[in-house]
A and B are shown apart, each in its own frame.
Chain A
């Protein structure tokens, strides 16, 4: 039986630092938009603060619980996320042309954010429960088959989140299986699939063209404004709160493009510190996963690591125009109540696993 240990303090500290830095950056970035749209410069900040408080409570609560407790809800959680993602298609609210929110009174909720931890729990549970070690393609097919319904549901109006869920699934399958070769095939198939997918629709090809030369296209506006912000930063930035690009130039600066404002205000130094914090966080997930008492715990941590890693990498890649623009938020930093709530709950899960280290 594993030894009961204290929770992982390093991870806790990193989470707190990121959450605090996130709130500061969010306030700085969203103050202008809040003032212009809602005549309240703290509009976004207040909402985020509320969600963060809720999330921190959830984190503490979950971290105190035995993570095995959640195994019972793995299947049901997944079913609920399917139901919610289905419901959002029928009765969801649109914002900026995307139907992604469910409203309950004054609160709004984004089911796709809930889908991520649900998928992590489900896959960790199902994979760790398999008795026979029949790895190979079969496991992979099983995993993909399990997440396909949610990927399809979420993907209808939120392609980016669907890709994240699929990525988490592939990473979990990768860790669960001793082989390497089939994943190389998967990688190649994925590349081929993306190629076919892109060339199927004209507007997707256009997105590629915009990526290669954003200044030549009107739709490259967001990307180019992000680059302007990054370029304005230099080594040490304009200073906290001094961004000009957040004043309506970068559209919705508090959302996907928030990292570009970090670059402008805090410079290369600040931006690299943020990236280092994320890297440290990923390192803690790896350490917790490798010292987990069982496969269930390890896979939970690997799933969370995949989740954070994919979002951070894709977000920064988009902001620096390394890949074509797709809407992915920066964990703990970008505006989004549901996102921060479930991210912190996931942190609670990882912390819970850390208490049962071998």
Chain B
């Protein structure tokens, strides 16, 4: 059949139809590539970019003597990139050997089809360098920082430690997270769809900003003395735990805070018992128990050391003077209750100072009753006992006290000599510091100042003297009476030749009373006329002799004998 005109016309029609369609598509493409380009290009960019964090070096914690208590060590993370491995068997063998891992474990990770697989983290730098030197294709060695505590277990519960992402978990590491943390840097790289970086595409970096250094009042030497003394008495008396706080009563700076047993900060998760046999919950409980700082996280009945508070309130209010005389028959009847003195036969006739020396319960019950529930509670509040101390450590326990309307004569009597309520050791130390320092409330604390890595001062951590809670005159009287307690009274075991030392002992029976378990404690300060240092020692559940004056007072004496010369406090 011949080609007709309409055939040609139609062929032309088809062509022009196709042309029009192509022109329309060209217009669509132009629209996409010129006007919607930004939107899609941005999306594509987001897709191709991978962010890798560069960890910022965490700031150091430095003690009063300039010792570095917490710093960083370079560690390595070993990973493999599946697609780049050329000799898998060699890689498995070499990594298992260098990292001392089971070949099976390494094999599983090397043979896993993933863009990047971690073999081991926190590998010492030397091992990392060694692996890098092997030059195995597909094996990556990344350097990283790990927190390192040069003193091991020293002040473990104060310093605290950090977790895998270098974030504080307990202690100062948590409280000063913002100071120490710094800000991580970033590496932006382009990757293909499997997440493999494209070396030829280059990278852009945002440098990390290192954390700042925290300077604290704690002194590693004093802390060592405190921990040694605590461990010694814990072992000798077969006690459950021993807490010691050494602080400056004038400004609240803490020089040492021991709570033995301490734990190794470089291996905080190690447990003595077989960890494999524990459930997750049991493990968590065991850790929490281990990391608990008895000085601030727990409360106890302070017992006779609390008589300092009753004494201060009574003298301040004028319901008792130092010359007032009392008579102790060995007990005191309050309402229908007969409250015993620790000396069953009674102390007989005594003045107030002698009553304090004897730690005579009836004397202080009498002072408490003279004050009355309302006034006593007012002083309790005024001295700051109802609030937390504000110490710069996390998890401070609050005071457990009767409600004011529930305080009858019996409750008042027991509170007067330190029973039937609970406070934390740090609260007792801070309150007594405030009562003997001239009468101003102090905030116990560690943080002193923040400096950058070059040492330039960034900020001074300010803990100004708080409000007046006791008159200067009464404070002076309290110091005098407490010096008498050590100078021939129940605290005589804290006496240190050449120094004027004030103090108060305590022996409290823990609940339930039937268990016959005791807490022995002693709080002491020196020099008695101008207190520069205050120490509190609390011994939980000692075996054998359990009197605070007998076992706790010598601990403070021993520490004082070491640290008073160290602190430059001269003998008189």
Chain B residues with CB under 8 A of A267: 33
Q: Kindly identify which residue among B2, B22, B34 contacts A313, using a CB–CB cutoff of 8 Å.
A: B22
Tell me the bound Cα distance from A244 to B43 in angstroms: 12
Chain B residues with CB under 8 A of A176: 7
Asked if A231 and B22 sit within 8 Å, CB to CB, the answer is no
Chain B residues with CB under 8 A of A320: 25, 28-29, 32
At the interface with chain B, which of A104-112, A127-135, A189-197?
A127-135
Most buried by B among A131, A267, A313: A313
Chain B CB within 8 A of A227 CB: yes
Asked if A268 and B29 sit within 8 Å, CB to CB, the answer is yes
Asked if A298 and B40 sit within 8 Å, CB to CB, the answer is no
Chain B CB within 8 A of A309 CB: yes
Chain B CB within 8 A of A248 CB: yes
Q: Kindly identify which residue among A234, A249, A305 contacts B33, using a CB–CB cutoff of 8 Å.
A: A234
Tell me the bound Cα distance from A249 to B32 in angstroms: 19
Tell me the bound Cα distance from A290 to B14 in angstroms: 12
Asked if B83 and A286 sit within 8 Å, CB to CB, the answer is no
Asked if A248 and B1 sit within 8 Å, CB to CB, the answer is no
Chain B residues with CB under 8 A of A249: 44, 47-48, 192-193
> Could you give, for residues 302-326 of chain A, a 1 whenever the CB lies within 8 Å of some chain B CB and a 0 otherwise?
1001100100110011001010000
Chain B residues with CB under 8 A of A16: none
The B-contacting residues of A in range 95-152, CB under 8 angstroms, are: 127-131
Q: Kindly identify which residue among B22, B33, B44, B198 contacts A235, using a CB–CB cutoff of 8 Å.
A: B33
Asked if A263 and B11 sit within 8 Å, CB to CB, the answer is no
Most buried by A among B8, B33, B45: B33
State whether A305 and B25 are in contact (beta carbons under 8 Å apart), knowing that A230-B40, A244-B190 are contacts in the complex: no
Nearest A residue to B42 by beta-carbon distance? A231
Chain B residues with CB under 8 A of A337: none
Asked if B7 and A272 sit within 8 Å, CB to CB, the answer is no
Asked if A263 and B29 sit within 8 Å, CB to CB, the answer is yes
Tell me the bound Cα distance from A227 to B47 in angstroms: 13
Chain A residues with CB under 8 A of B10: 174-175, 177
Tell me the bound Cα distance from A295 to B1 in angstroms: 6
> Could you give, for residues 272-307 of chain A, a 1 whenever the CB lies within 8 Å of some chain B CB and a 0 otherwise?
100100110011011001101111001001100110
> Could you give, for residues 1-24 of chain B, a 1 whenever the CB lies within 8 Å of some chain A CB and a 0 otherwise?
111101110111011001101100
Asked if A313 and B21 sit within 8 Å, CB to CB, the answer is yes
Asked if B193 and A248 sit within 8 Å, CB to CB, the answer is yes
B-side interface residues, number (CB < 8 Å): 41
Size category, A interface: 35 or more
State whether A292 and B3 are in contact (beta carbons under 8 Å apart), knowing that A244-B48, A247-B193, A312-B22 are contacts in the complex: yes
Asked if A263 and B33 sit within 8 Å, CB to CB, the answer is yes
Q: Kindly identify which residue among A272, A278, A293 contacts B29, using a CB–CB cutoff of 8 Å.
A: A272
Asked if A227 and B40 sit within 8 Å, CB to CB, the answer is yes
Asked if A290 and B22 sit within 8 Å, CB to CB, the answer is no
Asked if A286 and B40 sit within 8 Å, CB to CB, the answer is no
Asked if A294 and B1 sit within 8 Å, CB to CB, the answer is yes
Chain B CB within 8 A of A245 CB: yes
State whether A247 and B1 are in contact (beta carbons under 8 Å apart), knowing that A174-B10, A233-B37 are contacts in the complex: no
Q: Kindly identify which residue among B25, B26, B32 contacts A230, using a CB–CB cutoff of 8 Å.
A: B32
Chain B CB within 8 A of A345 CB: no
Asked if A322 and B15 sit within 8 Å, CB to CB, the answer is no
Q: What is the minimal beta-carbon distance from B202 to any residue of chain A, in angstroms?
A: 13
Chain A CB within 8 A of B207 CB: no
Asked if B44 and A228 sit within 8 Å, CB to CB, the answer is yes
Chain A CB within 8 A of B30 CB: yes
State whether A322 and B28 are in contact (beta carbons under 8 Å apart), knowing that A231-B37, A289-B11, A302-B11 are contacts in the complex: yes
Tell me the bound Cα distance from A195 to B280 in angstroms: 60
State whether A230 and B192 are in contact (beta carbons under 8 Å apart), knowing that A131-B1, A278-B22, A279-B19 are contacts in the complex: no
Tell me the bound Cα distance from A261 to B321 in angstroms: 97
Asked if A275 and B190 sit within 8 Å, CB to CB, the answer is no
Chain A CB within 8 A of B566 CB: no
> Could you give, for residues 14-47 of chain A, a 1 whenever the CB lies within 8 Å of some chain B CB and a 0 otherwise?
0000000000000000001000100000000000
State whether A231 and B39 are in contact (beta carbons under 8 Å apart), knowing that A292-B3, A298-B3 are contacts in the complex: yes
State whether A231 and B30 are in contact (beta carbons under 8 Å apart), knowing that A294-B2, A305-B15, A313-B22 are contacts in the complex: no
Most buried by B among A231, A247, A282, A301: A231
State whether A171 and B44 are in contact (beta carbons under 8 Å apart), knowing that A234-B33, A275-B25 are contacts in the complex: no
State whether A245 and B22 are in contact (beta carbons under 8 Å apart), knowing that A263-B29, A271-B33 are contacts in the complex: no
Chain B CB within 8 A of A232 CB: yes
Tell me the bound Cα distance from A294 to B7 in angstroms: 10
Chain B CB within 8 A of A229 CB: yes
Q: What is the minimal beta-carbon distance from A192 to any residue of chain B, in angstroms?
A: 20
Chain A residues with CB under 8 A of B2: 294-295
Asked if B8 and A290 sit within 8 Å, CB to CB, the answer is yes
Chain B residues with CB under 8 A of A313: 18, 21-22, 25
Chain A CB within 8 A of B572 CB: no
Chain A residues with CB under 8 A of B29: 230, 263, 268, 271-272, 275, 316, 320
> Could you give, for residues 324-341 of chain A, a 1 whenever the CB lies within 8 Å of some chain B CB and a 0 otherwise?
000000000000000000
State whether A305 and B34 are in contact (beta carbons under 8 Å apart), knowing that A174-B10, A290-B11 are contacts in the complex: no
Nearest B residue to A283 by beta-carbon distance? B15
Chain B residues with CB under 8 A of A301: 11
Asked if A286 and B11 sit within 8 Å, CB to CB, the answer is yes
Asked if B32 and A178 sit within 8 Å, CB to CB, the answer is no
Asked if B22 and A228 sit within 8 Å, CB to CB, the answer is no
Chain A residues with CB under 8 A of B7: 175-176, 295, 298
Asked if A268 and B33 sit within 8 Å, CB to CB, the answer is yes
Tell me the bound Cα distance from A130 to B4 in angstroms: 14
Q: What is the minimal beta-carbon distance from B45 to any residue of chain A, in angstroms?
A: 8
Chain B residues with CB under 8 A of A244: 44, 48, 190, 192, 198
Q: What is the minimal beta-carbon distance from A324 to any residue of chain B, in angstroms?
A: 15
Chain A CB within 8 A of B333 CB: no
Chain A residues with CB under 8 A of B198: 244, 247
Q: What is the minimal beta-carbon distance from B44 to any residue of chain A, in angstroms?
A: 4
Chain A residues with CB under 8 A of B192: 32, 244, 247-249
Chain A CB within 8 A of B134 CB: no
Q: What is the minimal beta-carbon distance from B304 to any residue of chain A, in angstroms?
A: 73
Nearest B residue to A316 by beta-carbon distance? B25
State whether A174 and B193 are in contact (beta carbons under 8 Å apart), knowing that A231-B43, A275-B25, A278-B22 are contacts in the complex: no
> Could you give, for residues 145-187 of chain A, a 1 whenever the CB lies within 8 Å of some chain B CB and a 0 otherwise?
0000000000000000000000000010011111000000000
Chain A residues with CB under 8 A of B8: 289-290, 298
Q: What is the minimal beta-carbon distance from B284 to any residue of chain A, in angstroms?
A: 39
Most buried by A among B41, B83, B198: B41
B: which residues have CB within 8 A of A?
1-4, 6-8, 10-12, 14-15, 18-19, 21-22, 25-26, 28-30, 32-34, 36-41, 43-45, 47-48, 83, 190, 192-194, 198
A: which residues have CB within 8 A of B?
32, 36, 127-131, 171, 174-178, 227-235, 244-245, 247-249, 263, 267-268, 271-272, 275, 278-279, 282-283, 285-286, 289-290, 292-295, 298, 301-302, 305-306, 309, 312-313, 316-317, 320, 322
Task: Apart from A249-B44, A282-B15, A320-B29, list 7 A-B contacts with CB within 8 A.
Answer: A178-B6, A244-B44, A267-B33, A268-B33, A275-B29, A294-B1, A301-B11
Jot down 19 A-B pairs with beta carbons below 8 A, ordered by A.
Answer: A175-B7, A178-B4, A228-B43, A231-B38, A231-B43, A231-B44, A232-B37, A244-B44, A249-B192, A249-B193, A263-B29, A268-B29, A279-B19, A282-B18, A290-B11, A292-B3, A306-B14, A316-B25, A322-B25
- In order of increasing CB-CB distance, the 7 nearest A-B pairs are A231-B40, A248-B193, A247-B192, A228-B44, A286-B15, A309-B18, A175-B10
